[in-house]
């Protein structure tokens, strides 16, 4: 809560003015009974029509002023609540983006999404109501109690007993329901997850005729949520009836006590009526307050959940500037990596060094650590041993942005963003001109199909690039990386959806495009890496080979095995022939 | 009410229809509300009677006071009980209605055509099913809780007032519609804002889903700032609409309260003047004032309910939009159950495109005999994945027909058609759940041995065994801790388990290292024996074993034949084939 409230500071003025105007309005409300009393005691008793008319007009005027104050209060409250929600959304989104990659992965997209949507909406509603009513209700409750004291101190003691009992009931129920509401929200999270899953996996679900199973899973999750909601609902539904009963019992006690006092001449009938009126004023406020509490406890549960995310440590530490070591463009110095919560090392003692303009190929089996090597270069993860250097400087000493500026990465999963082809390319370099973009498209073998699209560079791209085929997406993501003219281009198995011909053309074009660009190609295909200056062969996180194709064919059994599996085994004369042509 | 929801009268009726199916709860709720209102109105009367017994010093009838107070206590207890029961009924109604809405939405999602799902942002659909439904529940619950007791309170107090003094009661009746007028005036204007707010929030959710879901790309390009800027732009709009919606809707309360205060002042004036002329006692005036207060309070509440309900209706509208979206074309009455499929597939002059203005597949014809292997090759984006969409009937052809065993697949049940295909897609998708659940997707009743055998055949067994909980390891969102290749192995094992007579393999092995791939291909060869298979592949070794190779370019089949024939032709296929070795 504390962190969240600190964001409210920006709206301090609104957050103070809102309740303040509300209190002013409430004060006017407390005045009305006095005016009515005046009408009865002075106007009617003294048969003075003038006073009656004057007082009635006064009441209307008080109502008008009350309305103006109230509207002002509503405006400030709404502004503070909506403003806080917007600020929170901004902060949360910013924070989520700054979370380390591994952290964001563990939490999961859908959880983060509910936090930033429905949780923040709850907080907005809760704060808006709280600013308007949270102070007002106690103000009237205690105001009424003080008024009771002015009438009769001993009778007022009944108020002193009643109010704590009411408070105990309200806060007790709140204490029970808050964690339950948290659970409800958790269940809702689960449903959200399932809904998303049914959308992303629709093809597989339908292919396996799993619609009914998915539906019944959803229904049982939904049923559980409903049960949970009803359970909390039943408990918080006690609030109004309980407070109502207590107040009425207190009223009965007041009347009985009043009767005793009146009998001995200590109180007058009118004063008893006044006391009863104050008690009922308390009741009216409490009903509002109880409703408010339900909303607020929901909002608090949501606030906690938002806070959880905000408290996650963001980003990575940046090491002080380190000595420049060597001239290599990219160097791994005895690097090992163990993922959080994983037992074994995913990379062990990897060392290599790539000069400017050289090409490094990385090949190896599934789970051999190819992607891990690649993820260490833009510092998506931190090494657990050894140092990764780019341009001779430890990647941990770079500001993440300046490090990543040097690198153009084409991730395994080819993702584009909603917008246009142009807007996607500009992601990599906002200053790229038309010519640079066309050049990037040309190298990425994407020029032809982009030209074929309506609007060409301005052709629309749907969310995640769904309106493009897998291969088209891959080429566009390559073009995106090329647009920024990176020092290091990383292709993380990013030609997998391309046929051999396009793949080969692509590699040619990249090689020719910029002789100074260092290229890292991760692939399953020996054909994609065989012409690299160096090939790193990975097996189960260990480097089992490093060298040129011919050397590795001689010295590295794993590499030879991979190569053979692709070519030699089924070689017929024709293929052997074409190989000799090389 | 109805007038206020003018913008969405259809939605309102649909909501009413859904409430109607819970009529029993509704009746109980209304009865409890009536009992509650009656008792709450009755208690002041009894209290008043008690006070009448306390006239002054020495003039107190203590026994009578006690008797009446006993009645008060019983009434208060009953009123509280009635209210609790009413609350429980309302809770149940609301949450059951909402549960049914969610289920309906999900049921619809399962039968929506893929063209709908592919063209609507997932975040927006999710936001409808989750956030909008939630908001609707809030509004509905508030409506149930406050609407009936509000209306009944108004009627009850009106009755009492008329019985005391009909002239002043008439005065009250004439002034109060003002408050309804104010409320409905405001509500009409807020509805649009609530709708805008809802829509903009949906847009924001879709944006966030894209950015958060693909954070690795965002990070790689240091795009965080830019995406935050875009986010802020939408956020500003959300803020603007939200402020307007919230503020406008919160005008209702002060507005109606002002009208109520006017009523109160008018009653005080008229009452006091009548009292002066001896037509009303002071006691009656006091009662009148307190009733006038009780009478107007519900107007406040009801107007509050109306605003909340506006919002709820806007949300409900979005939910109904989803629930009522056109489902996929229903199966004909006499749809054939495909069984005993040997696997002959005829594609007959098929024309298809996703968008009419962009032609994709044209005049596509092949005849595949049972057990034949069809490899689909060609440059990326030539329409290979589209063929899968058509074979599986994810999309319907625009012209021509696809026949399995001589049956047009549009005359066959989707279930039996798809059950006869085993599919491994280019994009690996695993559901949240255990490995076991994922493997058994196609055959829920598979035995442990069958499952392990399938996993072994797909070379997934050894890595699964090494996972913390083995086959019961829970896979998190989009595969979580598994590598791309491992996910693919699971997808293959999933198909291995049910082994349908026809296979669709979409670049299935693209992320698997070649050593494993060889093993898998051997398994595939075994699996494909006697099965008709369609393989979208780039591996020439896979292609070479095919009976028919379809060479595609721009949606057309440019060449057709086996490896040797096509090489001899020295055409497009030969070009692609040779490209592997040109550097």
- Could you give the CA distance from residue A183 to residue A24 in angstroms, rounded to a whole number? 38
Name every chain A residue with its beta carbon within 8 A of the beta carbon of B432: 193-194, 197
Which segments of chain B belong to CATH 3.40.50.300?
345-579
Which residues does B468 contact at the CB level (< 8 Å), separation at least 6?
Answer: none
Contact status, residue A498 vs residue A471, Cβ threshold 8 Å: yes
Domain match, A285 and A422 both = no
Confidence of residue B367 (pLDDT cuts 50, 70, 90): confident
- Could you give the CA distance from residue A383 to residue A376 in angstroms, rounded to a whole number? 7
Residue B291 has pLDDT above 80, yes or no: no
**A499/B119 CB distance under 8 A:** no
- Could you give the CA distance from residue A119 to residue A289 in angstroms, rounded to a whole number? 22
Residue B219 has pLDDT above 80, yes or no: no
- Could you give the CA distance from residue B438 to residue A399 in angstroms, rounded to a whole number? 41
DSSP B442: G
**A504/B211 CB distance under 8 A:** no
- DSSP H helical segments within A315-418, as ranges? 370-376, 400-405
Facing A249 at nearest CB: one of B76, B357, B484: B76
Q: Which of A253, A230, A231, A250 is closest to A242 using CA atoms?
A: A250
B434-479 pLDDT tens trace: 888 888 888 888 888 888 888 888 888 877 887 777 888 887 654 4
pLDDT at A569: 41
pLDDT at B513: 60
CA distance A473 to chain B (A): 9
Q: Which helix (H) or strand (E) holds B433?
A: strand B433-434
Chosen domain end from A256, A282, A311:
A311
Helices and strands per DSSP (H, E), number in chain A: 23, 12
Name every chain A residue with its beta carbon within 8 A of the beta carbon of B261: 32, 59-60, 62-63, 66-67
Q: Which of B264, B265, B267 is closest to B299 using CA atoms?
A: B264
- Count of residues for chain A? 582
> Three-state SS string across A280-305, please?
HHHHHHHHHHHHHHHHHHHHHHHHHH
Mutate to test the interface with A, among B44, B98, B211, B219 (most CBs of A within 10 A): B219
Helix axes A49-98, A269-311, angle to 10 degrees: 10
The answer to whether position A528 is within a domain reads no
Facing A500 at nearest CB: one of B47, B253, B538: B538
Confidence of residue A224 (pLDDT cuts 50, 70, 90): very high
Whole-number mean pLDDT of chain A?
79
Which residues does A575 contact at the CB level (< 8 Å), separation at least 6?
Answer: A567, B581
**Count of the separate structural domains present in chain A:** 2
Taking residue A579's Cβ as centre, other Cβ atoms within 10 Å add up to 12
Contact status, residue B532 vs residue B372, Cβ threshold 8 Å: yes
Which segments of chain B belong to CATH 1.20.1560.10?
93-323
Which residues does A400 contact at the CB level (< 8 Å), separation at least 6?
Answer: A315, A316, A318, A379, B219, B222
- Could you give the CA distance from residue B94 to residue B137 in angstroms, rounded to a whole number? 6
Tokens of A12: 């301090």
Confidence of residue B514 (pLDDT cuts 50, 70, 90): low
Percentage of residues of chain B with pLDDT beyond 90: 3
Residue A538 has pLDDT above 90, yes or no: no
A106-154 pLDDT tens trace: 677 777 888 888 888 888 888 888 888 888 888 888 888 887 888 788 8
B79 — contact with chain A (CB < 8 Å)? yes
Closest chain A CA to residue B488: A366
Beta partners for residue B345, in sequence order: B368, B404
Name every chain B residue with its beta carbon within 8 A of the beta carbon of A565: 514-515, 517-518
| C-alpha dihedral sign at B115, B120, B123, B126 | negative
DSSP A398: S
DSSP B350: E
Domain match, A138 and A286 both = yes
SS3 B145: helix
CA distance B69 to chain A (A): 6
Whole-number mean pLDDT of chain B?
80
CA distance A63 to chain B (A): 5
The answer to whether position A91 is within a domain reads yes
pLDDT at A271: 74
Q: Which of A188, A95, A421 is closest to B215 using CA atoms?
A: A95
Mutate to test the interface with B, among A273, A501, A511, A540 (most CBs of B within 10 A): A501
Range of the domain at A155: 2-311
- Could you give the CA distance from residue A483 to residue A424 in angstroms, rounded to a whole number? 10
Confidence of residue B75 (pLDDT cuts 50, 70, 90): very high
B10 — contact with chain A (CB < 8 Å)? no
Q: What angle do CA B368, B371, B374 make, to 5 degrees?
A: 50
Which one has a higher pLDDT value, B582 or B378? B378
Which residues does B40 contact at the CB level (< 8 Å), separation at least 6?
Answer: A244, B79, B153
Mutate to test the interface with B, among A69, A71, A195 (most CBs of B within 10 A): A195
pLDDT at B64: 84
DSSP B530: T
**Measured torsion, CA atoms of residues B164, B170, B175, B180, in degrees rounded to the nearest 10:** 90
DSSP B537: -
CATH number, span B345-579: 3.40.50.300
Chosen domain end from A250, A280, A311:
A311
**B511/A496 CB distance under 8 A:** yes
Domain match, A446 and A306 both = no
pLDDT at B78: 94
Residue A342 has pLDDT above 60, yes or no: no
Confidence of residue B7 (pLDDT cuts 50, 70, 90): very low
The pLDDT of A406-429, averaged and rounded, is 79
Which residues does B289 contact at the CB level (< 8 Å), separation at least 6?
Answer: A36, B264, B267, B268, B271
Q: What CATH number has the domain bearing residue A480?
A: 3.40.50.300
The answer to whether position A273 is within a domain reads yes
Which stretch of A190-199, B49-58, B156-165 has the lowest confidence by average pLDDT?
B49-58
> For the complex shown, is ipTM > 0.85?
no
Q: Which of B302, B358, B376 is closest to B142 using CA atoms?
A: B302
Residues 541-570 of B with CB under 8 A from A: 541, 544, 567
Residue B527 has pLDDT above 90, yes or no: no
Q: What CATH number has the domain bearing residue A187?
A: 1.20.1560.10
The pLDDT of A90-100, averaged and rounded, is 82
Beta strands in B128-220 (DSSP E): none
Tokens of A346: 């995913």
Domain match, A270 and A148 both = yes
B321 — contact with chain A (CB < 8 Å)? no
Contact status, residue B428 vs residue B488, Cβ threshold 8 Å: yes
Residues 224-243 of B with CB under 8 A from A: 224, 226-228, 231-232, 235-236, 238-239, 242-243
Residue B86 has pLDDT above 80, yes or no: yes
CA B326 to chain centre: 15
Residues 154-183 of B with CB under 8 A from A: none
Beta partners for residue B326, in sequence order: none
Contact status, residue A493 vs residue A522, Cβ threshold 8 Å: yes
Tokens of B272: 């006091």
pLDDT at A581: 31
Domain match, A88 and A233 both = yes
Q: Which of B327, B331, B393, B322 is closest to B112 using CA atoms?
A: B327
Q: Which helix (H) or strand (E) holds A212?
A: helix A211-236
Tokens of B533: 């298979």
- Structural fold of domain B93-323: ABC transporter transmembrane region fold (1.20.1560)
State the number of CA atoms in the 13 A half-sphere of B124 facing the CB. 16
Which one has a higher pLDDT value, A222 or B573? A222
Q: Which of A409, A374, A375, A377 is closest to A390 using CA atoms?
A: A377
pLDDT at B417: 86
φ, ψ for residue B338, nearest 5 deg: -75, 115
Beta partners for residue A354, in sequence order: A330
Residue A466 has pLDDT above 80, yes or no: no
Residues 102-141 of B with CB under 8 A from A: 102-103, 106-107, 109-111, 114, 117-119, 121-123, 125-127, 129-131, 134-135, 137, 141
The answer to whether position A202 is within a domain reads yes
A473-494 pLDDT tens trace: 888 888 888 888 888 888 887 7
Which stretch of A320-334, B99-113, B152-166 has the lowest confidence by average pLDDT?
A320-334
CA distance B463 to chain A (A): 10
Residue B74 has pLDDT above 90, yes or no: yes
Domain match, A94 and A225 both = yes
Chosen domain end from A485, A518, A543:
A485
**B210/A430 CB distance under 8 A:** no
Domain match, A440 and A306 both = no
pLDDT at A527: 73
């Amino acid at each position: 809560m504390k962190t969240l409230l600190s964001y409210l500071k920006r709206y301090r003025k609104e957050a103070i003015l809102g309740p303040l105007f509300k209190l002013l309005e409430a004060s006017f409300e407390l005045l009305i009974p006095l005016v009515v009393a005046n009408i009865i005691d002075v106007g009617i008793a003294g048969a003075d029509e003038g006073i009656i008319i004057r007082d009635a007009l006064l009441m209307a005027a008080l109502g008008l002023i009350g309305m103006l104050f109230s509207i002002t209060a509503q405006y400030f409250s709404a502004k503070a609540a909506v403003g806080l929600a917007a600020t929170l959304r901004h902060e949360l989104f910013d924070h989520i983006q700054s979370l380390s990659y591994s952290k964001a992965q563990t939490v999961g997209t859908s959880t983060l999404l509910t936090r930033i949507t429905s949780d923040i909406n709850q907080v907005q509603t809760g704060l808006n109501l709280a600013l308007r009513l949270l102070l007002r209700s106690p103000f009237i409750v205690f105001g009424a109690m003080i008024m009771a004291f002015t009438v009769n101190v001993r009778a007022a003691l009944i108020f002193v007993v009643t109010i704590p009992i009411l408070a105990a009931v309200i806060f007790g129920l709140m204490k029970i329901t808050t964690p339950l509401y948290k659970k409800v929200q958790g269940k809702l999270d689960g449903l959200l997850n399932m809904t998303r899953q049914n959308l992303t996996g629709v093809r597989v679900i339908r292919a396996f005729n799993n619609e009914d199973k998915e539906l019944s899973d959803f229904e049982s999750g939904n049923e559980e949520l409903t049960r949970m909601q009803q359970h909390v609902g039943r408990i918080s539904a006690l609030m109004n009836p309980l407070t109502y009963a207590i107040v009425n019992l207190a009223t009965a006690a007041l009347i009985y006590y009043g009767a005793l006092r009146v009998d001995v001449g200590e109180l007058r009938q009118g004063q008893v009526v006044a006391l009863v009126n104050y008690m009922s004023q308390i009741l009216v406020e409490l009903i509002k307050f109880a409703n408010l509490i339900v909303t607020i406890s929901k909002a608090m549960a949501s606030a906690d959940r938002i806070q959880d995310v905000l408290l996650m440590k963001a980003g990575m530490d940046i090491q002080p500037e380190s000595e420049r070591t060597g001239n290599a463009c990219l160097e791994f110095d005895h690097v090992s990596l163990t993922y959080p919560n994983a037992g074994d090392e995913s990379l062990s003692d990897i060392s290599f060094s790539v000069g400017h303009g050289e090409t490094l190929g990385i090949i190896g089996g599934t789970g051999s650590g190819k992607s891990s090597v690649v993820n260490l270069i833009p510092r998506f993860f931190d090494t657990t041993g050894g140092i990764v250097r780019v341009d001779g400087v430890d990647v941990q000493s770079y500001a993440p942005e300046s490090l990543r500026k040097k690198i153009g990465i084409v991730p395994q999963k080819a993702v584009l963003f909603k917008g246009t082809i142009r807007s996607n390319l500009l992601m990599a370099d906002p200053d790229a001109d038309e010519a640079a973009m066309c050049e990037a498209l040309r190298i990425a073998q994407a020029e032809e199909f982009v030209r074929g699209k309506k609007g060409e560079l301005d052709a629309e791209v749907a969310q995640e690039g769904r309106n493009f085929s897998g291969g088209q997406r891959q080429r566009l993501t390559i073009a995106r990386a090329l647009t920024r003219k990176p020092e290091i281009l990383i292709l993380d198995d990013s030609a997998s959806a391309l046929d051999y011909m396009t793949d080969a053309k692509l590699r040619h074009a990249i090689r020719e495009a910029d002789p100074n660009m260092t290229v890292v190609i991760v692939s399953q295909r020996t054909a994609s890496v065989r012409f690299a200056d160096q090939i790193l062969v990975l097996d189960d996180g260990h480097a089992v080979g490093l060298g040129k194709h011919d050397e590795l064919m001689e010295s590295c059994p794993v590499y030879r095995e991979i190569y053979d599996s692709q070519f030699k085994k089924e070689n017929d004369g024709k293929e052997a022939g074409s190989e000799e042509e090389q | 009410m109805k007038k206020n929801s003018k913008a969405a009268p259809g939605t309102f009726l649909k909501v009413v229809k859904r409430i109607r199916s819970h009529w029993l709860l509704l009746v109980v709720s209304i009865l409890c509300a009536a009992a509650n209102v009656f008792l709450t109105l009755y208690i002041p009367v009894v209290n008043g009677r008690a006070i009448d017994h306390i006239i002054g010093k020495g003039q107190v009838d203590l026994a009578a006071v006690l008797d009446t107070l006993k009645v008060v206590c019983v009434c208060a207890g009953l009123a509280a009980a009635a209210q609790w029961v009413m609350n429980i009924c309302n809770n149940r109604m609301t949450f059951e209605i909402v549960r049914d809405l969610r289920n309906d939405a999900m049921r619809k999602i399962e039968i929506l055509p893929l063209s709908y799902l592919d063209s609507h942002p997932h975040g927006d659909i999710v936001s409808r099913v989750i956030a909008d439904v939630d908001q609707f529940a809030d509004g509905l619950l508030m409506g149930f809780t406050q609407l009936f007791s509000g209306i009944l309170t108004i009627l009850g107090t009106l009755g009492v007032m008329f019985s005391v003094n009909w002239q002043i009661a008439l005065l009250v009746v004439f002034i109060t519609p003002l408050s309804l007028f104010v409320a409905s005036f405001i509500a009409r204007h807020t509805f649009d804002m609530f709708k805008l707010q809802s829509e903009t929030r949906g847009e924001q959710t879709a944006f966030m889903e894209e950015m958060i879901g693909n954070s690795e790309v965002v990070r790689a390009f240091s795009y965080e700032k830019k995406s935050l800027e875009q986010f802020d732009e939408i956020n500003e709009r959300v803020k603007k609409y939200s402020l307007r919606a919230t503020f406008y809707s919160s005008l209702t309360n002060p507005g109606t309260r002002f009208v109520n205060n006017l009523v109160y002042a008018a009653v005080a004036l008229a009452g006091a003047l009548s009292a002066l002329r001896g037509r009303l006692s002071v006691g009656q005036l006091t009662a009148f004032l307190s009733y006038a207060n009780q009478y107007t309070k519900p107007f406040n509440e009801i107007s509050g309910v109306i605003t909340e309900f506006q919002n709820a209706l806007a949300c409900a509208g979005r939910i109904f939009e989803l629930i009522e979206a056109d489902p996929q074309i229903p199966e004909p009455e006499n749809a054939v159950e495909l069984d005993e499929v040997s696997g002959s597939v005829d594609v007959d002059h098929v024309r298809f495109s996703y968008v009419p203005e962009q032609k994709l597949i044209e005049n596509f014809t092949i005849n595949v005999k049972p057990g034949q292997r069809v490899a689909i090759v060609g440059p990326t984006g030539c329409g290979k994945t589209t063929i899968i969409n058509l074979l599986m009937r994810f999309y319907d052809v625009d012209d021509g027909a696809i026949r399995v065993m001589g049956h047009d697949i549009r005359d066959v049940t989707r279930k039996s058609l798809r059950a006869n295909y085993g599919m491994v897609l280019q994009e690996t998708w695993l559901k949240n759940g255990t490995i076991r659940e994922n493997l058994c997707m196609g055959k829920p009743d598979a035995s442990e041995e069958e499952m392990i055998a399938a996993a072994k055949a797909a070379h997934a067994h050894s890595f699964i065994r090494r996972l913390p909980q083995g086959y019961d390891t829970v896979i998190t969102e989009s595969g979580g801790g598994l590598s791309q290749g491992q996910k693919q192995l699971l997808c293959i094992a999933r198909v291995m388990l049910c082994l349908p007579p026809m296979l669709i393999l979409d670049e299935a092995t693209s992320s698997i290292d070649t050593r494993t791939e060889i093993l898998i291909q051997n398994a595939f060869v075994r699996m494909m024996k006697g099965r008709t298979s369609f393989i979208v592949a780039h591996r020439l070794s896979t292609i070479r074993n095919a009976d028919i190779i379809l060479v595609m370019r721009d949606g057309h089949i440019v060449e057709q034949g086996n490896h040797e024939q096509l090489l001899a032709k020295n055409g497009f296929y030969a070009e692609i084939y040779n490209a592997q070795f040109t550097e």
